[in-house]
């Protein structure tokens, strides 16, 4: 792992959001480095909706604030401001004030020549403003594949991303499809898939695990999904299976984030079924317990541009518990096809779950867990660290490039 470096991270979401790859990677990196996590600004009109998705912490009310949330990891938050500050004539003065505030925090933390870490094309205005030695662009999705975008905005986002890909010193991507689509813009592009906190799942599997209270006394089998339920998850598919198999308990763990009409209808349908349980968002430390409570785990993704580029966080978490998995026909499932039953449509999904429930082979369980053990977050951090060290020490490397 890199050691003694300063990492200035412009995160696309708040620290208190559900844990994603950035939380896992930067928590590990903070053991040997100083990490300053810059939360995105929240505006007065957006504060209420945001609070339903992640805790809108007290930091937002009276900032800017800095809070140490882990050893070596600090979170910077702006106060909630009116959206008018994003328009002229206030935009540029407010931006300069924010930059000065961040630089003061950096000075207090004795951060110098940081590695600037960006996750979204719109963050590239930060390049060149903080004396960075290196700029990283970390791509976790095909952002132009997100739903709800107009054609004009989608094209503008593509152009903006292409510019950032060329400007960055390093580009990290999480899936082979992203690697193929981004590497042509930057020769320093590296595939770093998501991983798993294997030790946490190992502890639950090997220990005397008590099932979460929500499933205490419910009828088995338990068919589970653990993760955010955003617009890439096919809730209609789950509803179709749950309506057919009232003898199965469906455990849905995570926040429901999609605003798509079809997803809201499916969600309402699922809530009306007595064999479907919604646990809501749970703490990252509780995730292994919920996965371990399931008899079969699901990866019910829609088939579209977005999901063709995903690298699922939940995949290795399911495997770490040795659970049989049923998923839809997306590349992330096909890449580990021996460990995931791939289904198309409600009837096939039901049949594959039924087959998985009849499975009784300890060799398969060990094989799944062994695959997860070879894909830990620590291993991902080593890959990232090596790329950073190689790029930073490259002859003639000048850090920031316009």
Q: Where exactly are the structural domains of the chain? A: 6-195+377-392, 198-373
Condensed to tens digits (0 to 9), the pLDDT of residues 356-365 reads: 999 999 999 9
Rounded CA-CA distance 180/174 in Å is: 11
Tokens 């053991």 belong to residue: 31
User: Do 136 and 170 touch, CB atoms closer than 8 A?
Assistant: yes
310-327 pLDDT per residue, tens: 999 999 999 999 999 999
Does residue 47 register a pLDDT over 70?
no
* Domain 198-373 architecture: 3-Layer(aba) Sandwich (3.40)
H-assigned helices in 227-304: 235-244, 261-271, 287-292
Query: What separation in angstroms does the CA of 303 have from each of 69, 250, 343?
Result: 37, 22, 12
Residues with Cβ within 8 Å of residue 125, at least 6 apart in sequence = 95
Asked, colleague to colleague, whether 6-195+377-392 and 198-373 share their fold, the answer is yes
Question: For residues 155 and 392, what is the distance between their CA atoms, to the nearest angstrom?
Answer: 33
Residue 397 pLDDT greater than 70, yes or no? no
> Would you call the peptide bond into 64 cis, given omega within 30 degrees of 0 as the criterion?
yes
Provide CB contacts within 8 A for 142, sequence distance 6+. Answer: 177, 178, 181, 305, 306, 308, 309
Confidence of residue 120 (pLDDT cuts 50, 70, 90): very high
Reported pTM: 0.92
- 164 vs 32: CA distance, rounded Å: 28
Quote the tokens at residue 316: 């290795």
Question: DSSP string of 119-176?
Answer: -SGGGGGGTTSS--SEEEEEE-S-GGG-TT--HHHHHHHHHHHHHHHHH-SEEEESSH
Which residue, among 312, 290, 297, has the nearest Cα to 352 in the 3D structure?
Answer: 297
Whole-number pLDDT of residue 49: 45
What residues contact 393, with CB distance under 8 A and at least 6 apart?
none
Under the banding of pLDDT at 50, 70 and 90, the label for residue 51 is: very low
CATH class of 6-195+377-392: alpha beta
> Which pLDDT band holds residue 209 (cuts at 50, 70, 90)?
confident
> How many residues in the chain?
402
Q: Is 57 helix (H, G, I), strand (E, B) or coil?
A: coil
Structure tokens that stand for 37 in this block? 């996590």
């Amino acid at each position: 792992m890199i050691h003694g470096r300063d990492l200035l991270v412009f995160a696309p979401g708040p620290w208190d959001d559900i844990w994603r790859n950035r939380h896992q990677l930067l928590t590990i990196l903070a053991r040997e480095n100083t990490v300053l996590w810059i939360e995105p600004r929240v505006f007065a009109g957006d504060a209420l909706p945001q609070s339903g998705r992640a805790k809108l912490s007290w930091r937002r009310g009276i900032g800017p604030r800095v809070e140490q949330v882990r050893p070596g990891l600090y979170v910077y938050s702006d106060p909630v401001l009116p959206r008018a500050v994003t328009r002229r004539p206030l935009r540029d003065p407010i931006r300069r004030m924010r930059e000065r505030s961040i630089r003061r925090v950096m000075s207090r933390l004795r951060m110098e020549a940081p590695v600037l870490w960006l996750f979204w094309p719109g963050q590239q205005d930060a390049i060149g403003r903080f004396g960075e030695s290196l700029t990283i662009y970390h791509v976790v999705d095909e952002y132009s594949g997100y739903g709800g975008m107009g054609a004009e905005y989608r094209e503008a986002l593509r152009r903006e991303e292409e510019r950032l890909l060329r400007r960055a010193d390093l580009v990290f991507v999480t899936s082979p499809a992203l690697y193929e689509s981004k590497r042509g813009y930057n020769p320093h592009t590296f595939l770093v898939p998501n991983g798993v906190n294997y030790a946490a799942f190992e502890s639950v599997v090997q220990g005397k695990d008590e099932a979460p209270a929500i499933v205490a006394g419910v009828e088995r089998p338990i068919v589970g999904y653990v993760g955010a339920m955003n617009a890439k998850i096919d809730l209609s598919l789950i509803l179709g299976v749950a309506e057919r198999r009232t003898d199965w308990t469906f455990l849905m763990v995570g926040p429901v984030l999609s605003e798509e009409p079809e997803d809201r209808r499916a969600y309402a349908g699922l809530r009306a079924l007595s064999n479907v349980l919604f646990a809501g968002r749970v703490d990252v430390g509780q995730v292994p317990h919920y996965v371990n409570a399931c008899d079969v785990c699901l990866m019910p993704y829609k088939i579209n541009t977005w999901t063709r580029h995903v690298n699922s966080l939940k995949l290795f978490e399911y495997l770490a518990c040795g659970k049989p998995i049923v998923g839809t026909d997306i590349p992330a499932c096909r890449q580990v096809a021996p460990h995931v039953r791939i289904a198309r449509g409600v009837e096939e999904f039901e049949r594959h779950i039924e087959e998985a429930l009849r499975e009784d082979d300890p060799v398969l369980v060990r094989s799944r867990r062994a695959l997860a053990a070879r894909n830990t977050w620590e291993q991902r951090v080593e890959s990232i660290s090596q790329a950073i060290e190689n790029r930073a020490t490259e002859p003639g490397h000048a850090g920031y490039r316009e």
